[in-house]
């Protein structure tokens, strides 16, 4: 490996989601080039990017169409303030997002990171209720949820690893048991379990609706929460209940949006429209930071008034609606429009299912589960009881290092190995990835259990 780059990195860079001490043993890998699903390090070794570089990449690294769109935009306008000014890319992008989003969503408010979109959704919902004369201060979230790591977003998440340390600083949400189907009774279907889990949500809404601004959920897949999955019927019931109890529904599709679950947006599978839809990650095809909250005319109108009435939404970020990012997002939407991506993904998802089906029989594999282009393999100490490995015997890391050695980036979540690849992956690459996952799980299982 290029020791000079690593030395310089370790002297000044502080990496995300990393105990930097680990880099004494396993230094970061300097990447010099990307091409499709492949990343190439400075020595020429290639890695199949099975997790789309933290779930952002949709159509491969160095995608010629997205590259070209950004280059064209770069020669016209790199950035302009979006308060008091506007530009064609942000206008066209807003029109096109509204056209493809669930029916009834009509206004786009932009930011850069996904977490910022969550902050916006939380503030927008709170401020809406204030503008219509109701003082509400709470949010309902699901256990095992993840919505980002700024303080508001962290508050409505529920992954202890990220949250625990900062607890004294956070809002106190009303946390309801997740419909995550990993814990269903044997013989129980996803649908039955998710419907049963809804009773907890119904009860929370009964008790807390009048103090609650919004319910926030990740539709269908709790991604950072170990790729746990649930049935779309839960979302149908949730939409109906939010209407009944007059509470907003915030759908965080930052990870699951843009075709990940088999439809363009996960909400489509439940035929629902949230009050606020949060998008990020794949919005620019994995090129540039851009996120957006798309909301209804009803919410928008509650902020519309004569100047100075304390009603306006004064939230802002420096790079709101950046034109280069909008150009990347438009090129991404073009690919969805021109290439029949959703239909092709259905075939890829089926190939992933077939390739990995036999992993279910492995001694330490408790479950192989899938929603569209997300396929997760959960390892456990006891397959039958689904007892997890104790923290000191975590297997994900062993599998990760093994996979790197064989040329795949399969960064796990705890003991869950998952495929969430760019949509340009081929069936040969799926087979290769499955083979690497298989030997990685073998390597992890070989340790004294």
Ligand X SMILES: *Cc1c(COP(=O)(O)O)cnc(C)c1O
By CB under 6 A, name the binding residues for ligand X: 113-115, 118, 146-148, 218, 223-224, 252, 254-255, 280-281
Question: Please, what is the minimum distance in Å from the beta carbon of residue 16 to ligand X?
Answer: 9
Q: How far is CA 399 from CA 104, 367, 395, 396, 441, in A?
A: 44, 16, 6, 5, 6
Nearer to ligand X, 288 or 432 (CB): 288
Nearer to ligand X, 49 or 252 (CB): 252
- Which residues touch 258 (CB under 8 Å, ≥6 apart)? 58, 264, 265, 279, 281, 282, 283, 332, 336
Nearer to ligand X, 216 or 441 (CB): 216
- Alpha carbon distance 104, 125 (integer Å): 17
Question: Please, what is the minimum distance in Å from the beta carbon of residue 113 to ligand X?
Answer: 4
Question: Please, what is the minimum distance in Å from the beta carbon of residue 166 to ligand X?
Answer: 15
8 secondary structure, DSSP code: H
Nearer to ligand X, 223 or 302 (CB): 223
Q: Helix %, strand %, coil % for the chain, to 5?
A: 45, 15, 40
Nearer to ligand X, 114 or 414 (CB): 114
- Alpha carbon distance 123, 444 (integer Å): 44
DSSP 154-182: HHT---HHHHGGGGGGS---EEE----GG
Helices (H), 79-189: 88-100, 114-131, 151-155, 160-163
76 secondary structure, DSSP code: T
Question: Please, what is the minimum distance in Å from the beta carbon of residue 112 to ligand X?
Answer: 8
Q: Three-state DSSP class for 402?
A: helix
- Alpha carbon distance 346, 342 (integer Å): 6
Question: Please, what is the minimum distance in Å from the beta carbon of residue 286 to ligand X?
Answer: 11
Question: Please, what is the minimum distance in Å from the beta carbon of residue 256 to ligand X?
Answer: 7
Question: Please, what is the minimum distance in Å from the beta carbon of residue 278 to ligand X?
Answer: 7
Nearer to ligand X, 208 or 281 (CB): 281
Nearer to ligand X, 251 or 302 (CB): 251
Burial of residue 103 (number of CB atoms within 10 Å: 0-12, 13-18, 19+): exposed
Question: Please, what is the minimum distance in Å from the beta carbon of residue 255 to ligand X?
Answer: 3
- Alpha carbon distance 167, 25 (integer Å): 31
Helices (H), 302-408: 323-339, 341-356, 396-405
Phi/psi-derived region of residue 273, left when phi > 0, alpha when psi is between -120 and 50, beta in every other case: beta
Question: Please, what is the minimum distance in Å from the beta carbon of residue 381 to ligand X?
Answer: 27
Strand-pair partners of 65: none
364-371 contact pairs (CB < 8 A, 24+) = 364/395, 364/441, 364/444, 364/445, 364/449, 365/441, 367/182, 369/181, 369/182, 369/227, 369/229, 370/229, 371/220, 371/221, 371/229, 371/260, 371/261, 371/262
Nearer to ligand X, 292 or 398 (CB): 292
Nearer to ligand X, 54 or 300 (CB): 54
Question: Please, what is the minimum distance in Å from the beta carbon of residue 445 to ligand X?
Answer: 28
Nearer to ligand X, 218 or 429 (CB): 218
Nearer to ligand X, 218 or 275 (CB): 218
Helices (H), 133-289: 151-155, 160-163, 190-208, 232-245
Question: Please, what is the minimum distance in Å from the beta carbon of residue 428 to ligand X?
Answer: 29
Strand-pair partners of 195: none
Determine the residue with CB nearest ligand X. 114
Which of 242, 325, 255, 296 minimizes the C-alpha distance to 101?
A: 296
Question: Please, what is the minimum distance in Å from the beta carbon of residue 265 to ligand X?
Answer: 13
Nearer to ligand X, 131 or 284 (CB): 284
């Amino acid at each position: 490996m290029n020791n000079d780059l690593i030395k310089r990195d370790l002297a000044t860079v502080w990496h995300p989601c990393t105990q930097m001490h680990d880099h004494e043993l396993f230094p970061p890998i300097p990447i010099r080039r990307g091409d499709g699903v492949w990343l190439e390090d400075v020595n020429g070794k290639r890695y199949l990017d099975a997790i789309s570089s933290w779930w952002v990449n949709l159509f491969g690294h160095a995608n010629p169409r997205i590259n070209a769109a950004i280059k064209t935009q770069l020669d016209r306008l790199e950035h302009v303030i979006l308060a008091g000014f506007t530009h064609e890319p942000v206008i066209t992008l807003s029109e096109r997002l509204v056209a493809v989003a669930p029916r009834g969503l009509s206004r786009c408010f932009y930011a850069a990171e996904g977490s910022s979109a969550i902050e916006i959704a939380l503030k927008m919902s709170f401020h809406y209720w204030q503008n219509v004369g109701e003082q509400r201060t709470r949010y309902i979230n699901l256990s095992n949820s993840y919505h980002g790591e700024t303080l508001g977003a962290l508050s409505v998440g529920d992954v202890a690893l990220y949250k625990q340390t900062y607890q004294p600083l956070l809002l106190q949400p009303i946390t309801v048991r997740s419909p995550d189907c990993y814990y269903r009774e044997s013989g129980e279907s996803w649908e039955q379990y998710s419907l049963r889990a809804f009773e907890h949500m119904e009860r929370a809404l009964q008790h807390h609706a009048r103090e609650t601004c919004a319910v926030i959920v990740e539709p269908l897949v709790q991604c950072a929460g170990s790729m746990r999955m649930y049935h779309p019927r839960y979302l149908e019931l949730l939409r109906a209940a939010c209407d009944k109890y007059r509470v907003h529904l915030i759908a965080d599709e930052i990870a699951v949006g843009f075709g990940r679950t088999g439809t363009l947006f996960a909400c489509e599978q439940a035929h629902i429209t949230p009050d606020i839809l949060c998008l990020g990650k794949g919005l620019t095809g994995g090129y540039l930071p851009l996120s957006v909250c798309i909301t209804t005319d009803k919410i928008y109108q509650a902020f519309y008034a004569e100047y100075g009435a304390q009603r306006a939404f004064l939230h802002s970020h420096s790079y709101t609606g950046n034109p280069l990012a909008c150009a990347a997002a438009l090129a991404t939407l073009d690919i969805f429009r021109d290439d029949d991506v959703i239909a092709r993904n259905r075939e890829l998802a089926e190939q992933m299912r077939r390739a990995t089906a036999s992993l279910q029989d492995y001694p330490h594999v408790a479950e192989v589960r899938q929603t569209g282009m997300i396929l997760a393999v959960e390892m456990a100490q006891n397959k039958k009881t689904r007892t997890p490995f104790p923290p000191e015997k975590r297997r994900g890391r062993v599998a990760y290092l093994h996979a790197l050695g064989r040329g795949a980036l399969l960064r796990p979540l705890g003991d869950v190995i998952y495929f969430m690849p760019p949509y340009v992956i081929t069936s040969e690459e799926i087979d290769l990835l499955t083979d690497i996952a298989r030997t990685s799980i073998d390597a992890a299982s070989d340790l004294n259990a």
